[in-house]
Chains A and B, each alone.
Chain A
Amino acid sequence: MKFLSFLILVFSSPIFAIPTIQHWQTDNGAEVYFVPAPDLPMVNIEVVFDAGSARDGNKPGLAKLTNSLFTEGAGGQSADKIAEHFDNLGAEIGNSVNSDMAILSLRSLTETELLQPALEMLALLLLKPDFEETSFKRVQQQMLVSLQYQQQSPSAITKQAFYRAIYGTHPYATLAGGNPESVAALTRDDIKAFHARYYVAKNAMVTIVGALTRKSAETVAQRLVAQLPSGKTAPALPPVASLCKTKRIHIDHPSTQNHVLIGQPGIARGDPDHFTLYVGNYILGGSGLVSQLAEEVREKRGLAYSIYSYFAPRRVAGPFISGLETRNDQTAEALQVVQDTFQKFLNTKLSEETLKKAKQGITGMFPLRIKSNKNIIGYLSVIGFYRLPIDYLQKFNDNVEAVTVEMIQEAFQRRLHLDKLVIVTVGG
């Protein structure tokens, strides 16, 4: 018997297809995105709220602290009980916050006696978090220690200064971890108010990838969010102002290297230039050792181990960032090489051959983007959260193929302003 089922598995290997995303809404208004993945008896689930650090208001750290407290007590169940519950089922519960999203995630086996109780507990966490004093204080302290710890990391200091400089008064200016003053000032009432405002059905999305039927996926989504108050969607974020001029910031740090970040506000999700800039940046600094930046900085001159650039699209203009680390006395040289490379990229039309290779690389890599349930749920959450076209994956390679050398040069000249760059260096 065992041998037979084994044979069946081998000979019925699925024919490759780009996953078709199924999409529906729960009765109370939460969006659901689902891709069946029948091969492994497991499921990945994410409940995503528009409750990232951009919603912190004047209380940096609020979104993250709120999101960290769900597993710390709910419906009268203690943190110990909740942790035991998931661990005893072999289920993995996770939480995370970035600028736009607040996520609670669950990975579980699909056996009913394991999945069912895991879902029940996750639903309880979402619906009735306790936010009680002891847990609140403890997690607040942990965030403060983590902020202290970041102050010994030149890379973290650089990142904080960089975002502050490119975003000014915009909510994207502070990172999810907040700052020591604001985190210390947070109260349980802040948490409760934030939760009541943002952790509601109309501000929620559920993504599911795993060995479930459509019908069970519907039940799962329903179970997780059906009892949430309907609430209101979060308001639009303010637009990001462009920089007026170049800003040069240096922070002294007792390190042997300078950490360098160069950039400016870039693009939002769904921007019409997205694929053009993506393909262009792949050539400029997005293709590892092969990119123009890596060629100039690392391969030709040995100035850095890591050198890159990327656009990180967000709800509103996310950053364009280029970074490297180099021995203190080489900082000026490395900076010059990066800026020269930018300049050359804007001034010189790419050869057709260069573009062809880049396209081959990007489209050839497409199967790698969707090779695991974990990869697929990552795309699902982005596609759902930013309301990208539901056939985003199907059209991905076509969108890449449509880019021309003229489009790249035109878009980079229009979008990358070399006279308005923020340059942050941290080191000795």
Chain B
Amino acid sequence: MLYKYLRVSLFSLLCSSSLIAAEVHEFFLDNGLQLIVKEDHRAPVVVSQVWYKVGASYEMEGKTGLSHMLEHMMFKGTEKYSPGEFSRIMAANGARENAFTGSDYTAYFQTLEKSRLYLSFEMEADRMRNLVLIEEEFSKERQVVTEERRRRTDDKPINQMYEYFMATAYQTSPYQHPIIGWMSDIQNYTLADLQTWYQRWYAPNNATVVVVGDVEAQAVLALAKKYFGPLKSSKIIPPYPRPEVEQFGIKRITVELPAKVPYLIMGYKTPVLKTLSEDNHQEAYALEVLAYILDGGDSARLSKNLIRGQEIASSVSTGYDPFSPLTELFSFSGIPTNSHTVHDLENALREQIQQLQTTLVDQTELERVKTQLRASQIYELDSVFYQGMKIGILETVGLDWQLFENYLDNIKAITAEQVQSVARKYLINKNLTVAILNPITGAKK
């Protein structure tokens, strides 16, 4: 019937006072569905997440936001259940349920009392293959999504500016488009577009089911066989690769919007584990360490030097995701204090970067990052949802969930020289995009 026990592994976190280990089981059903079960017996609950390999980065121009729109429609009925019934049944069973769409995934989840896992499997399996798309439901839900876009983006100056920043920074990468889609695309796609998108991506062999909680792996496998097992697989044709072209020099934009405070975003194009060859994986980990040196807690450099110290930033942060499937931005963003401008803030951030390029980071800073990451790996175990999320994201972007097992070791191996080297190689003008939000009074001009 199916492969069994492809890999069994220990999620072990080294910790002097006790050993925390949780068994992670991975299975594949005959139809290609991947099932990953992590046992966590602290409370009688279970989280069940279905991850599909489809998201905003799979979409083409003119159809942006289609994956997100389809996510909404997944609650609008199947051959067996009427529109909205999914949520009504889940609610009556005390499930906390929702769904989310990202650049590289669409995921549906329920957290429930452990004996009700079957319900999640039964209904997720049903809507994986038997969705019924109805014009009347679609036209209402399209309105809901336009309201969602207004609320999330159009009426939030920083979020709107971020859209323009991304569209400027990326030239060929699909990351240039917002996950929710451009408004005109939301208003123009048809029921047939959704039908095509659903048929193209929603199949057991394009899905990973992640279950974390007070369950027994073999019992979950039996349940998965029962509900997901009979589903037919599809021929999945992966999207054409659309790598970002090389950038040759700084890109700058100013966004003028009704707002009260200015805002700065700077982003340097950087590689990620997935775009680096195996030999160069340490570069992604070095960038991760670099992000923590700058912004890992109140003692990190940006808080210490820009918020305190020079008092140039009222708030400031960095962002980098080594687990993204496509070229990422190592980004800086912040609000200047009232006595400084966004230009002062940009200069101060560039000084911080320059310092990383010219002077080796201190050994105590590296130690601090490692201690923090070790602690946060344990803190994360307090959330079943987050444990599932980490596994789901890695699998869906085509990395192995077991990467997390070696994550801390890989971080620990990073040297001050490697941090300096990635700062010199990637945090350079050639890779940089800068966006400034310039507040205006009155309405949008």
Contact = CB atoms under 8 A, between A and B. Distances in A.
A91 interface: yes
B415 interface: no
A272 interface: no
Interface in B349-382: 364, 367-368, 371-372, 374-376, 378-379, 381-382
B17 A40 contact: no
Most buried by A among B17, B75, B141, B155: B155
A141 B261 contact: no
Contact of A10 (B17, B39, B303): B39
Contacts of B146: 327
Interface stretch (B88-96, B101-109, B189-197, B399-407): B88-96
Given A288-B87, A305-B148, A368-B111, A148 B378 contact: no
Contacts of A372: 42-43, 382-384
Nearest to B314: A145
Interface string B413-429: 00000000000000000
A299 B298 contact: no
Contact of B84 (A39, A89, A299): A299
Contact of A91 (B17, B139, B375, B443): B375
A152 B439 contact: yes
A165 B439 CA distance: 29
A365 B94 contact: yes
A326 interface: yes
A257 B150 contact: yes
B91 A288 contact: yes
A365 B95 contact: yes
A280 to B, nearest CB: 15
A257 B300 contact: no
A360 B94 contact: yes
Nearest to A79: B308
Interface residues of B, number: 86
Interface string B221-255: 00000000000000000000000000000000000
Contacts of A138: 307-308, 311
Contacts of B383: 372, 374
A230 B337 CA distance: 39
Interface in A35-56: 37, 39-42
Given A145-B335, A149-B260, A154-B155, A302 B148 contact: no
A235 interface: no
B41 A71 contact: no
A257 B155 contact: yes
A374 B386 CA distance: 13
A42 B378 contact: yes
B94 A41 contact: no
A149 B337 CA distance: 12
A363 interface: yes
Interface of A: 2, 5-6, 9-10, 13-14, 16, 37, 39-42, 71, 79-80, 83-84, 86-93, 107-111, 114, 138, 141-142, 144-146, 148-149, 151-154, 211, 254-257, 287-290, 295, 298-306, 325-327, 357, 360-368, 370-374, 428
